[in-house]
Amino acid sequence: MRLVAEILVGLLAALHVYILVMEMYLWTTPRVRASFGTTVEFAAATKALAANQGLYNGFLAAGLIWGLIASDPVGQAAKIFFAACVVVAGLYGAATASRRILFAQALPGAITLAAVLIAG
């Protein structure tokens, strides 16, 4: 089970690196605008805000990666903390921005957090 948890943490980190890239560098592209349902005008007006969000997603990814490479008990604590942060961010995003975030961020975070806790 520990290997499964480690793989899920790695995938969750990769997801947040992907979100970082979308929000920081690709926010105004047609594909990302379609993903987020934004117009050209809205994307241009919110580019700095999106980049800020992307940076925070990068911090989540960095913390998850730290959890993977740090020795326990620090590594385990980092995985738990940052996976929990992903869940909270996903729940907040689902409540305030789009219900889709519940499935794109909170659910993967919750599955990963559960796997890390079970693997101990």
Per the CB < 8 A criterion, the answer to whether 16 and 60 are in contact is yes
- Per-residue model confidence as pLDDT tens digits over 47-76: 999 999 999 999 999 999 999 999 999 999
Q: How many CA atoms lie within 13 A of 27 on its CB side?
A: 19
Kindly state the average pLDDT of the residues 96-104. 94
- Give CA–CA dist 48/6, Å, rounded: 33
- Give CA–CA dist 57/48, Å, rounded: 14
Domain that residue 73 falls in: 2-119
- Confidence band for 18, pLDDT divided at 50, 70 and 90: very high
- How many folded domains does the chain comprise? 1
Question: CB-based contacts of 82: which residues, under 8 Å, 6+ apart?
Answer: 60, 63, 64, 66, 67
- Give CA–CA dist 91/108, Å, rounded: 12
Kindly state the average pLDDT of the residues 92-106. 95
- Confidence band for 107, pLDDT divided at 50, 70 and 90: very high
